[in-house]
Structure 1
Amino acid sequence: MSERTWSLRHVIPPCPAPPRTPPGAGFELDNDACAACHEAEAAQWRGSQHQTAYSEREFQRALAHEPMPFCRGCHAPEADPRRAASGQAAEIGVGCVSCHIVGDAVLAAPGPDVAAPHPLRRDPRFATAAACANCHQFGFPDNRRRARPEAMQRTVAEHAASPRAATTCSDCHMRDRAGARTHAFVGSRDDHYFRDALTVEATRPAPDRIELRIAARPDVVGHAVPTGDLFRRLAVAVRPEDGAGARPWTTAYLARHYALESSGGPPLRVERSDDRPHPGEPPRVLRFQLDPGDRAHPVAWEVRFERVESLFQEREDRAVVVGALTVAAGELPPALP
């Protein structure tokens, strides 16, 4: 695994952030005005991960553990982050106004002149990863980390270091499977999209050993898989099939791995390693040793994308899984006598 140093400073200047002063100033009411004229875009956005950013089950369960304004500010930017979002602000999550309204103008990428019923501000950065940096590249909201800053999310930095750095976020995430432009922001909740980002190869190089090789496809994805928040990981599991009933899975995790450190104050959770597949890097190879008695049995294997409830568990296998997708699965035949 290669050495990496991630900077908390945005690797590109972020776009102007839509100001929210005072919090909950009622911008959410303008979202209906956007949808009234931009019907196709609004229909694509409804049900997207942006629209459900606040209401989705995974976020709500994580928020129950850490009900912080810092979290609500990104997931319900049209609400007052000091209290639980409700009503339309919670319903729209990250809406049209969250990305496009700056001051009294609508922010857009460069394009042809159009007759718009509102002031239009075109900014070249809105067509680049800079448009995503405000919400997808930031540090922990913890003053105790000032001497040792760490990124809580670093998707923009991962993208800048990948072989697809010249491809913008929107080139992938604002395209549907047919290549048409969309505001659905296709991502990790799309089964086909996620599975296409990885290659998985399972082999049995010895009667008592299983190997799985997992790589991020550099021709498809421009960041680690999975990227984003800390609650996402790949679970890689094997299980001998002896015909006597379900056996427990033996599981390893590809993730950002954390440990508790104490330096005179309350313990601080810090990142120890990151073995998620990154595009342009060699495949992650996971080796599982079998019991001698399982040499004559077929072995089931699978790779799952999991979203967990929190990182408070001291053991990764005790984390509460709140969402999962089987990326790949199969069965290796018994070893030859």
Structure 2
Amino acid sequence: MRFLHCLAFAVSFLFLPEQVSAEALVPARTVSTIIAQKKTVEWKLTFNGLFAPREEVAVGTSLQDQRIAAVEVEVGDHVRAGQVLLRLDTIKLDIKLKEHEGRVARASAALAQQQATQAQAQSNLDRTKRLRGNGAVSEQSYDDKLSAFRIAEQGTAVTAAELAQAEAQLAEAKSERERAVLYAPVSGIVSERNARTGALAGNNALVNLIRDGEIEFAAEVPESELRFLKTGQSAQLSLPDGTLAKGHIRLISPKIDRQTRLGSIYITVSGENASLFSGSFGKAEVVIAQNQAILVKDSAILHGSAVSDAAVFIISHGKAVKRKVALGLYKNGEVEIRSGLQTGDQIIEKAGPLLRDGETVTAAPDRIL
């Protein structure tokens, strides 16, 4: 009897209707799904970087051959504009100044004497002119007086030029003497002190100042992310001591490194922060957008050959339906769907390569995005 039942089943299988497909005999694939929902999303970019002086002022001197007599500041000192930073030895400069003062005095005396000679020659010439009109002097005598006046006049001009030169040299000597004392050109903090008492001044910076003590945050940003940033954007900074501070983007460098494809941004730190030190590490977080968006995991996205060629599978009437979507920003392994989906769509969470458009699927319990 059992044999007859098996035979009947085999015969019935051979004569199944043609419209029953092989697919109907395969169990439906079970897939995990999520329900698309719009929610408020804050898009942020995070950068690691260094705190550095916004502007560092180098203080040096042109008196390279003078020895340093005294250094009056230390690294970390707060200085005000006009405060004495260091003094150079002035023995040679004082001697040079006295020499030029003597030259000016001699040149002044020589000019006064030459001017007196010219005045005398002018007087003689004027008297000869009057007598010449009466015929009391000869033409030769008049020519002699005229020649003497012109020689005296030229002598006065030469002596005046020598005095001007001596005065210019004296002014330069005074300037050098004044430059022997180096003052802070701006208020700020002493970041470096390369000057040592007794050493020659040299041509390098002797003292470096952080203008107004202002430290800012500098970071290198990938070229692809620079387009989301602009000057004035607010930022939150993680300081070296673990505290947070507010700031804003002051500058975005227009230059991108050819090899690393990185650009630089500079963020001003709001308020005074005594814990900031040049060269310390930090982190910045910039909110670049805030909107209502549908987010899906990247595992749900089918990526095509082109950037714009992307799709997801949704379940419609028990079947997997491929839906083309436009992608937006990425955040923590999720991507924004800008078009192609609607609130309430049942999205297949993992769109594997074996899943086919129109395939019958069974949905596991839904999750809300």
With normalisation by structure 1, the TM-score equals 0.21
Higher normalized helix content (fraction of residues): 2
With normalisation by structure 2, the TM-score equals 0.19
Higher normalized strand content (fraction of residues): 2
